Structure 1
Amino acid sequence: MAGNKRKGAGGQDKGGKKAKTDIHKIGKYLPGGFPIDPKMKGIMVTCARGRETQAGKEACDLLSEYAQKLYGDDFNDEPAEQDEDESIEDAIAREVAQAKKTKGGKKFLPLSTGTDCVIFIRAMQIEPAKLCHFVLSDLQKSGSKRTRYCMRFIPVDETSYANMDDIETMSERVFKPYFHADDQKPTTFKIIPKIRHNDKVERDALLKKLAGMAGQGQEHTVSMDDPEYIILAEVIKSICFMGVVRDYEKLKKYNIQSIFEAAQKTDDNNNTEAAPSAPKESAEATPKSDEKHEEATTATSEAAPEETASA
């Protein structure tokens, strides 16, 4: 038909124009399209557009480094060395078992979310919220940025399909240690939802559902100004990513760049305040015999503005 253009080789149509490709349908880190499934956990990482690959590698390296500090010898992202007495058959069996367990032997694996500027680091054998808090607190304390491409680290306690029934089931598991523990005490919380590439989940309905799940049977209250916990619910395409974090404002909304800039500003202010001033040195050098005279002079100089104001 005249109205249809047939595509030729190389992804071009007959008019010579290059055919458009939907990048959101390409699995950039694993083949087979959208690689994220329910019941995964890890860290969502934001970055500049076009830097997803670099940010994924950078995040995995940094998270692996801090995971070893946090968990010690219990965490090791490198394959174990072969025992001298281990047979070839045992070594092969061990490597195969490790590969099946971690899909390549890595506890951190970058996966495409099908969305620009957002990747997901699937994590093995860690607590995402605890690890992110440890990383960002240390970066804040040291004042070092340590990243070039990564902007935010968002802990994901679990993923589910993006429908209200599955989100409700997942939230029961995610919320339990924070809001429904055996020795639970009243606390405060706030929900921050974000929905991208999905027209099935409504923001208001998601807010209402999560608030009811968190406060169910408890005396918890919503606090918009200073909540103890922040519930992060990110819906991207067919998956909902959920995490519960603390010190959200203190850690600059888990934004690495903002933490670094605030730390640098604090250092600059401290250096300015610590710089010695000439009057202070002069006062310290004043002989004891002149202390009474100095106090009288100071008192007179401080009283003068008040007298002027009274007049």
Structure 2
Amino acid sequence: MGKNKRKAGEGGADAGNGGKKAKTNIHKIGKYLPGGFPIDPKMKGVMVTCARGRETQAGVEACDLLSEYAEKLYGPDFGSTDAADAEEEESIEDAIAREVAQAKKTKGGKKFLPLMTGTDCVIFIRAMDIEPSSLCHYVLSDLQKSGSKRTRFIPVDETSYANMDDIEVMTARVLKPYFHAENQEPTTFRVIPKIRHNDKVDREQLVRMLASAAGTGQKHTVNLNAPHYVILAEVIKSICFMSVVKDYDSLKKYNIQSIFEAACKKNADDEEKLEQDADGQE
């Protein structure tokens, strides 16, 4: 009889749970399983905003659009990289994400992977082997000329855990090419922070740290009206997304909806001016 007894907590049944199998603690499962937060430090890509409820569709559309423009920018062979071409020091998280990306059926899936942020209207597109700022600037500049209406894109140069120590380490890497390069010329900048679902990162402290990091040892100055560069730092839950962009205001804060509306207004104004000129010549 003693042999049939089980210690509390052993086996698949729980006497206090009506004989049902105890539920698995999902918080102890790897973050890549359903329900986990799939975004890790040292990722880069593009933050996409869309209408509420259209996150999945917008993610697929964004991957296709980015692939289309990446092929124009980087050449027709873009997206053909095999797993063997991955960086030698690739982390376990990077390897998992890359393998998941390669399994995607969307166009260019090997290079772009949509990841849910757990925040309404916001998707993160993980990007492989690209410079997000260059690609987004190229996409938005072209869409501004054509007047096409597509999804909104914000480049992400890198990610880190959302605490000031990790953000500061990431900041040094992200800002170096723009503010501390060899033979660096003085430039102007502005810092734009945004914090969602996080009460650990202080907005003012984040702004001061970023501004100090950009200007250290340089003659760069803050310009709130017409900066050459804008430093974007967006905290969502446990991750901070950071990038440095240019032409932020002329590209309507990287908001394609605003770019589209401005293009439509310009076309309407041009047509009205042509009609007025024609009437004046009669």
Structure-2-length-normalised TM-score: 0.79
CA distance in 1, matches of 2:206, 2:157: 17
Counterpart position of 2:17: none
Structure 2 SS opposite 1:242: strand
Shift of 1:272: 1.7
Counterpart position of 2:4: none
1:64 aligned onto 2:67: yes
1:195 aligned onto 2:191: no
The change in CA–CA distance for 1:224 and 1:279 in structure 2 (over 3 A counts) is: closer
CA distance in 1, matches of 2:229, 2:137: 13
The change in CA–CA distance for 1:278 and 1:207 in structure 2 (over 3 A counts) is: closer
1:54 aligned onto 2:94: no
CA distance in 2, matches of 1:268, 1:278: 17
CA distance in 2, matches of 1:190, 1:278: 46
Shift of 1:270: 1.1
1:120 aligned onto 2:124: yes
Structure 2 SS opposite 1:232: strand
Shift of 1:274: 1.9
Shift of 1:277: 2.6
Structure 2 SS opposite 1:130: helix
Q: Report the number of matched residues.
A: 235
Counterpart position of 2:181: 181
Counterpart position of 2:98: 102
The change in CA–CA distance for 1:279 and 1:117 in structure 2 (over 3 A counts) is: closer
1:140 aligned onto 2:136: no
Shift of 1:214: 0.6
Structure 2 SS opposite 1:277: helix
Shift of 1:244: 0.4
The change in CA–CA distance for 1:279 and 1:171 in structure 2 (over 3 A counts) is: closer
CA distance in 2, matches of 1:177, 1:30: 35
CA distance in 2, matches of 1:254, 1:279: 39
Gaps of 5+ in 2: 1-30, 87-94, 103-109
Q: Give deviations 1:162-199, integer Å, cap 9, x for gaps.
A: 11111111011000010000010111100000011111
Structure-1-length-normalised TM-score: 0.72
CA distance in 2, matches of 1:167, 1:98: 29
CA distance in 2, matches of 1:64, 1:228: 27
When Rg is computed on C-alpha atoms for both structures, the one with the higher figure is 1
CA distance in 2, matches of 1:277, 1:220: 49
Counterpart position of 2:48: 45
Counterpart position of 1:302: none
CA distance in 2, matches of 1:248, 1:234: 15
| Counterpart residue identity of residue 54, structure 1 | Q
Q: Residues 1-311 of structure 1 correspond to what in structure 2 (within 5 A)?
A: 31=34, 33-76=36-79, 97=84, 102-103=98-99, 104-105=101-102, 106-145=110-149, 147=150, 150=151, 152-275=152-275, 276-281=277-282
Checking the alignment, whether the CA contact within 8 Å between 1:30 and 1:111 is kept in structure 2 is no
CA distance in 1, matches of 2:280, 2:53: 55
The change in CA–CA distance for 1:226 and 1:41 in structure 2 (over 3 A counts) is: same
Gaps of 5+ in 1: 1-26, 81-93, 282-311
What percent of counterpart residues are identical?
A: 71
Shift of 1:271: 1.4
Checking the alignment, whether the CA contact within 8 Å between 1:234 and 1:240 is kept in structure 2 is yes
CA distance in 2, matches of 1:277, 1:187: 45
| Counterpart residue identity of residue 200, structure 2 | K
